[in-house]
Amino acid sequence: MERISFTVHLSILKPVEEVFDAVIQPDKLSGYFTASASGPMREGSTVKWRFPEFPEEFPVVIRRIVPNDLITLEWESQEGGYNTTVTMKFEALDPNSTLVSISEEGWRPTEKGIRSSYSNCSGWMHMLCSLKAYLEYGINLRKGSFLKPEIYMNP
């Protein structure tokens, strides 16, 4: 069986430059997705993301950035011992709207790998919905969304 992958998509009614910037800049990313990020995403860097419902930080290795087009990163799978790869694509649909696609791949086809992929799939979709709410309406959907973190880390 080959490694597990998924892709989620959402259109955001903002220009591609604004959407891309809201993902790579730590002050903006923490307005809808993380509690904090140790720095901006830069190709070849490692940033640490912290989420309000978890005590640990998550190292995120930035592999590739093409401004306003692509971000590729890696982080450790919930199973541990190997990384998964996340690819974010940004497509300008017109001057004031952007299609964002997030793919993640690389889970082992184990029971925990499959469950972890489902958890991350829902997490990335939540991230996209939160990004949309943040940019279009100025609200943080993530705040208070995950009050029982044990169900998300142990799917």
**CATH code at position 39:** 3.30.530.20
- The span from the CA of 63 to the CA of 151, in Å, is 30
Q: How many structural domains are present in the chain? A: 1
Query: Which domain range does residue 53 map to?
Result: 4-153
- The reported pLDDT for the residue numbered 152 is 55
Residues linked to residue 99 through DSSP beta bridges, in sequence order: 11, 91
Instruction: Give me the amino acid identity at 59.
Output: P
What are the distances in angstroms from CA 132 to CA 54, 86, 118?
A: 23, 19, 21
- Model pLDDT for residues 116-147, shown as the tens digit of each residue: 999 899 999 999 999 999 999 999 988 766 65
- The reported pLDDT for the residue numbered 151 is 57
- The reported pLDDT for the residue numbered 3 is 84
- The reported pLDDT for the residue numbered 146 is 62
- Model pLDDT for residues 107-122, shown as the tens digit of each residue: 999 999 999 999 899 9
- The reported pLDDT for the residue numbered 2 is 81
| pLDDT, averaged in runs of 10, over the chain (155 residues) | 89 98 97 94 97 88 98 93 97 98 95 91 94 96 68 54
